[in-house]
Structure 1
């Protein structure tokens, strides 16, 4: 994981690799921050602990030597290759921290911090060398790309050459990911959010060999927003065409988190491609379950599409617009797609009780879909996404992950061929059975070779004497992934297709069978209903649950706080509302407020009860007190929480940390063991146990076994800690410090404190080491680290661990003139405690007014406070930032937004941007703003030139600015100028260009919008009138009167645009001689304006 964007442990550094660059190989051209690999000295006390992790890797590879003897098939081959792939290069991420102000991404909060924003896409094609890891057996070959999110990059059916996942031949990022850059193709792992933050960043990886000849490539990371880990193991086995993905999701924190998990599988799309939901599927639903459509024949409006005429929506070609469809199916384990032109497809299989989600997404086969095809690839064409969701059936759809909980499950994929579709599938075989024109067509694919299988088609009929079976076809066959079986036979007259059954058997067991499903009508499921305003919800329980859903689903439009606060206004002792609000405060490091909530919940839950049934408030109260260093009180709460089976394990772990910090290692070991009795998958408990065993003098045997168990059974990538991934080391060190193991914590971080490759160490590392040295009585070393922290580069230092709060506060006390500690602490706290962050940044700029990002952060904070005075302060801060040397393009874009909101004269805004034009236009938003201002002051030629010579990057879902709108405005203004100058032909050319934005803008004709159609048609009519062409003039004016329909629920902006359209409609009606109708519209507009 690259340290600068993900943690404060190093600066702008290259991605970690598990290989050496061959002699003479040129450095890669990527400017993404990269990970530092840290050598661990054998002389350090931490070496033994890290060596244990290395032993796990060694042991896991040992069985490979036995593979040939154990497996009849040839072992799976693993190869690592450097491949040069054409790549559209990315510039460095934005150095400004991006805080949360309500942005949404895929229906959930679009939080970016503590990651940076990766929106600097150059659109310049170059060559870049990547390390790909391949697994291959006799049937399939897969390639994994750890450098770009650990995605499966390729998967080929060797029997026919079919790419059963979409294979990109170019790396072409677009602004689709949670933090920006994202590529299409392969399999993307979205954990714990959709299009997760690090999907375009390097992840950890390692290889593993199985005794059966299988090989596994593990990829994964620490996700720093929630401090959870995930790992995916891509496994191939000898003699099988199945790709098995073993998934682990690990909550390393003591607080419940929520997670979404979808595997995003891209496949090549064409007019012959069909999406196959299981036959029992009768309904599909949209994001958030906000609407439903019948499947496969839709007869309704759905999303932006009109299927009311009756459309088979299982075919890609029938989706002209972008659309998502989630199967409403909780019975079946498979999901597939099939290209009837290639006679090949892709199938996924997973236990539907754990992996219920089945979704497909398409950009659509219409013009906008083609635009996105061009944005995302050069020659590989359109794709669709066949997504599979675990513990999630929709997006957003989040499930709870308890403290220290680990989830483990598997998803399987394999290629499908020569079947025409599929009706049932499992990990061993797939079957298709169709009846057409009086004949049965049936066939089988298998995922392994079966030289003596039996394919059957039976007719089963019920009669007075019971069910009778008649064998229509029975054939002994040899079948394997490269030799499917398919047959067509005539059926007896009057055969009911529902009486047929196709099956494939080997020896004494059946591999697969299918009979046509007799569907009974299922009513349309209920849609999700957004909650009323808190005060309008009458039922207290529903009020509490509304808050819970907002919290659980990371809602961008609803905060949980108002619902729970309203519940407490009605009932101040409500257990669930107090506990939920307390958890929010705890996650925001508002410990005093959290304590108050948990104590209120505890008072209710223990009223007349010595032993509460619900011990959640006790457990979280204990954590909150521990965080405030009220240790004795914390112990009382935590011990009582262990009386509850549900909270026993995390409570004992917290007790173990306290006992360790007090030096009672034997008692701490007992607590760890008790914690593991309740949760044997708590990886942090294993790490703490290893440290305790070492302190108790039992290093070699017991401690090694403990870490090996944790690494292999829980988090297969925990061994990556030994490799020096900076973020993982930081998290491990802070975990040790949380148990008072200051020496061990310092030894884990010590390698990161040394400069590497000309780069200074992270200031956060120095602050932590200084704090821990002080606790260990090493005053000189503490002072050295704090001095180093002050002088270290602040670039990309975005702290994410609440444990940094007391460390940075102590640094501020010890070094009152340190301007960086309050800056970093403000970064950490802003999304949790904005008022305190403002105070800290104000202190930082007072101590050092030469740091522009601190001024910019203050401006962002002030700008989101109410009132004109706050905006004035925000403007002053950004003006201070851009007055410093080397101003950043982001600062100009944000300042111009504030100027616009404050009605600053256009001429003043333009003068500033023109003075710094070379900097401003480096960012798309700044270039569009500059072009818009030039248009407003009558310089459309310059505006059009700014837009014409750059390829713009558009965000999926739209952006705050629109290059297409600006293009329309500039041509409209220039067209009117030319019309006044009697350059009528040129004016018509501008008006025509206004509705046809060029491809470099990445906009379509919708950018001008229906609200602009009346305006453009009116002026086009004026141009034809000037040419003396009255017929075409009237034609244009008639077009202007075709006002678009208006929604009663349209936004204020849409309503205003609609009024503008009505104004030009009225002008057109005047030209058409419809004076009364025109005056009626004018009166309507005057009435609306004065209402």
Structure 2
């Protein structure tokens, strides 16, 4: 599809070697498991502290976890859209969260994004599955987006003004909003443009979170510059405090390789300054992130030079070299949510290109000179007023209907539209972002049936909302009661959840899966209330009710150890499968349970044989900690060092 003589937009595929995402974890995410791991320390203004307290959610319900992947990669063709002109070649992956995977600067022959041909799925995102590299779009709450590995609704849009856009959109279920990303690359443009639009159709304010995250190559000479002398920093071990990135704990952290451990720097840019962040390598080349004024926050993240940081990078990008991230967000830091008013529409434009700085100045010892030089170069690359002037037209273009649909996203937008129409609630104008019936799957069909008055007979997917609860309460059958229990549990009404779980377990003719999940839900509610013995017994009942459910078994073994019953954990682990994505974690859990039950030598033997956990959580250092416990005096193998600090 030609955009102009020197600019094209091509629908294609690219070859990647990666593992399959695997099946969704069927266990509803009902426990209060999302927390704020850092507290606010000295020098942090009250405004930031208040927005850090606002909008925190207990979990990502109604989403299901994506942890069915392994580390067994295989070649595959992945849908891609390539935008190309005389200066840049941009590759986008609509089926993987809309990730901008490559931003190649033709003049210098450099990839401005960290990218590779073998992305490795790992447990980093809110729903676990995530992969390193490229430029990603994060919405919902603190962390990598629930849509990180999902297909987005995608289309080509030809506007009346001659613009040719790759559009991607989705209904975000945690905040009940619609987000949209429009990408275009004009003829001879030095930058890729991204227009983002968020729409809140609700009659109430919603806590909003957005960060655009770009992974950048880390070289010995890479420096990151932003127009600020101070930042709000965290090092994954201590409080969030005000720091000086150029003089932090005795080093200049703006040089990526100077940082000894993982760290975040949220630059404290004065409101009067243009907000930008740019990376510059030995030649002065590197990614520049520019945006209109709504996108306030600018950040640098480094893994650090410690053994754990290096291990994480090799784990996430095998053989692809080290990387860091520069990011831009709505709030000043990622610990905050902003209040998005009822019915509001927020939009902004971002621009991405090669900063092409003079390394003599950008890498000099005078930070003020580096800022002034970078600011002047970026103003030449993309004048601030010119970028701001693009916003009104981008908002108009956002409603231009698609010319050609490329890919459907999830069917939840169709369900939400039907729910709101039935309840007489406001919804968005879908002209530019249609939610098509072809996106409906078995996850959504039962809920559409319920809205139409059909008998509810269970569903593999979950929903949230008081109007759903009212519809289910009127059904009076075990499947409806179970889903009602999960909704109450997810919003932490533990008393109501326990009452409904018991109703399910007392009913006749309950399906095996539903009975197992009801035992599990009751067990989690009891554990949350401090009734450990009773809670663990219910978890065991759940495993026994459905011995084929590996996810139930894995959770029961984990919680058995955590709540002081390693014997139960070992007993359950005896029935664990010998194949599949969960085997590595189950081997580790067996070693951990043995150690807690006083069998350190047997635990050490398992670790020495080798343990690999595909869904190891970011910052999870449990394998190293167990090694130090059961193999005292022996150095922790590099393969087990995943500590962030």
**Larger radius of gyration, structure 1 or 2?**
1
SS of match in other structure, 2:523: helix
1:155-304 equivalences under 5 Å are 155-193=103-141, 194-210=143-159, 213-278=162-227, 281-286=228-233, 290-298=240-248
Q: Deviations over 1:439-483 (max 9, x none)?
A: x999986899xxxxxxxxxxxxxxxxxxxxxxxxxxxxxxx99xx
Kept in 2: contact 1:730–1:749 (CA 8 A): no
Structure 1: how far apart are the matches of 2:345 and 2:644? Answer: 49
Query: Which residue of the other structure, out of 403, 410, 415, is the alignment partner of 2:354?
Result: 415
- 319 and 184 in structure 1: CA distance in 2 versus 1, 3 angstrom threshold: same
Query: Which residue of the other structure, out of 451, 454, 459, is the alignment partner of 1:768?
Result: 451
- 291 and 238 in structure 1: CA distance in 2 versus 1, 3 angstrom threshold: same
Kept in 2: contact 1:213–1:238 (CA 8 A): no
1:1058-1069 equivalences under 5 Å are none
SS of match in other structure, 2:193: strand
SS of match in other structure, 2:71: strand
SS of match in other structure, 2:450: helix
Q: Deviations over 1:562-604 (max 9, x none)?
A: xxxxxxxxxxxxxxxxxxxxxxxxxxxxxxxxxxxxxxxxxxx
The reply on whether 1:399 has 2:361 as its aligned counterpart is no
Displacement after TM superposition at 1:291 (Å): 1.0
Structure 2: how far apart are the matches of 1:252 and 1:204? Answer: 19
Kept in 2: contact 1:920–1:926 (CA 8 A): no
Displacement after TM superposition at 1:270 (Å): 1.0
The reply on whether 1:323 has 2:263 as its aligned counterpart is yes
Kept in 2: contact 1:889–1:921 (CA 8 A): no
- 767 and 947 in structure 1: CA distance in 2 versus 1, 3 angstrom threshold: farther
Structure 2: how far apart are the matches of 1:828 and 1:837? Answer: 8
The reply on whether 1:806 has 2:466 as its aligned counterpart is no
C-alpha RMSD over aligned residues: 3.9
Query: Which residue of the other structure, out of 849, 865, 875, is the alignment partner of 2:536?
Result: 875
Q: Deviations over 1:354-395 (max 9, x none)?
A: 2221110000123222111111112221111111123x1112
Structure 1: how far apart are the matches of 2:450 and 2:291? Answer: 47
Structure 2: how far apart are the matches of 1:511 and 1:720? Answer: 30
The reply on whether 1:850 has 2:512 as its aligned counterpart is yes
SS of match in other structure, 1:876: helix
SS of match in other structure, 1:312: coil
Kept in 2: contact 1:260–1:396 (CA 8 A): no
Question: What residue number does 1:91 align with?
Answer: 22
Question: What residue number does 1:355 align with?
Answer: 295
Displacement after TM superposition at 1:825 (Å): 1.6
Structure 1: how far apart are the matches of 2:404 and 2:465? Answer: 22
Structure 2: how far apart are the matches of 1:806 and 1:910? Answer: 42
Structure 1: gaps (5+ residues): 1-60, 69-73, 299-306, 424-431, 449-479, 482-503, 505-509, 513-680, 682-708, 742-747, 772-784, 813-817, 973-990, 1007-1091
Displacement after TM superposition at 1:967 (Å): 2.8
Question: What residue number does 1:890 align with?
Answer: 551
SS of match in other structure, 2:593: helix
Structure 1: how far apart are the matches of 2:230 and 2:502? Answer: 55
Q: Deviations over 1:672-713 (max 9, x none)?
A: xxxxxxxxx9xxxxxxxxxxxxxxxxxxxxxxxxxxx99955
Question: What residue number does 2:53 align with?
Answer: none
SS of match in other structure, 1:142: strand
Structure 2: how far apart are the matches of 1:918 and 1:734? Answer: 43
SS of match in other structure, 1:144: strand
1:519-668 equivalences under 5 Å are none
The reply on whether 1:729 has 2:421 as its aligned counterpart is no
Kept in 2: contact 1:944–1:970 (CA 8 A): no
Kept in 1: contact 2:86–2:188 (CA 8 A): yes
- 329 and 916 in structure 1: CA distance in 2 versus 1, 3 angstrom threshold: closer
Q: Deviations over 1:759-779 (max 9, x none)?
A: 69732222222x2xxxxxxxx
SS of match in other structure, 2:325: strand
- 838 and 711 in structure 1: CA distance in 2 versus 1, 3 angstrom threshold: farther
Question: What residue number does 1:6 align with?
Answer: none
Structure 1: how far apart are the matches of 2:439 and 2:10? Answer: 35
Structure 2: how far apart are the matches of 1:263 and 1:749? Answer: 24
Question: What residue number does 1:963 align with?
Answer: 623
Q: Which has the higher contact order (CA 8 A, sep 6+)?
A: 2
Question: What residue number does 2:586 align with?
Answer: 926
The reply on whether 1:126 has 2:70 as its aligned counterpart is no
Give TM-score scaled by structure 1 length.
0.50
- 768 and 948 in structure 1: CA distance in 2 versus 1, 3 angstrom threshold: farther
Structure 2: how far apart are the matches of 1:208 and 1:808? Answer: 40
Structure 1: how far apart are the matches of 2:395 and 2:245? Answer: 45
SS of match in other structure, 2:19: strand
Kept in 1: contact 2:153–2:408 (CA 8 A): no
Kept in 2: contact 1:907–1:937 (CA 8 A): no
- 842 and 138 in structure 1: CA distance in 2 versus 1, 3 angstrom threshold: same
Question: What residue number does 1:311 align with?
Answer: 251
Structure 2: how far apart are the matches of 1:166 and 1:749? Answer: 32
Structure 2: gaps (5+ residues): 39-55, 427-433
Kept in 2: contact 1:753–1:765 (CA 8 A): no
Displacement after TM superposition at 1:730 (Å): 0.6
Displacement after TM superposition at 1:887 (Å): 3.7
1:898-977 equivalences under 5 Å are 899-900=560-561, 903-904=564-565, 907=567, 909-916=569-576, 918=578, 922=582, 924-935=584-595, 936-938=597-599, 940-941=601-602, 944-945=605-606, 948-953=609-614, 955-959=616-620, 962-972=622-632
- 807 and 81 in structure 1: CA distance in 2 versus 1, 3 angstrom threshold: same
Kept in 1: contact 2:307–2:641 (CA 8 A): no
Kept in 1: contact 2:414–2:437 (CA 8 A): no
SS of match in other structure, 1:90: coil
Question: What residue number does 2:48 align with?
Answer: none
- 864 and 328 in structure 1: CA distance in 2 versus 1, 3 angstrom threshold: same
Structure 2: how far apart are the matches of 1:262 and 1:1005? Answer: 21
Structure 2: how far apart are the matches of 1:760 and 1:222? Answer: 15
Displacement after TM superposition at 1:267 (Å): 0.9
Structure 2: how far apart are the matches of 1:398 and 1:945? Answer: 43
Displacement after TM superposition at 1:750 (Å): 12
Kept in 2: contact 1:889–1:919 (CA 8 A): no
Displacement after TM superposition at 1:137 (Å): 1.2
Question: What residue number does 2:42 align with?
Answer: none
1:990-1069 equivalences under 5 Å are 991-992=633-634, 995-999=635-639, 1001-1003=640-642
- 441 and 155 in structure 1: CA distance in 2 versus 1, 3 angstrom threshold: closer
Kept in 2: contact 1:932–1:966 (CA 8 A): yes
SS of match in other structure, 1:238: coil
Displacement after TM superposition at 1:169 (Å): 2.0
Structure 1: how far apart are the matches of 2:417 and 2:267? Answer: 41
Question: What residue number does 2:41 align with?
Answer: none
SS of match in other structure, 2:95: helix
Task: Report which of the two has the higher share of helix.
Answer: 1
Question: What residue number does 1:337 align with?
Answer: 278
Give TM-score scaled by structure 2 length.
0.82
- 908 and 920 in structure 1: CA distance in 2 versus 1, 3 angstrom threshold: farther
Displacement after TM superposition at 1:939 (Å): 6.8
Q: Deviations over 1:840-887 (max 9, x none)?
A: 2222222216331121111111221134xxx34323322222223434
The reply on whether 1:830 has 2:515 as its aligned counterpart is no
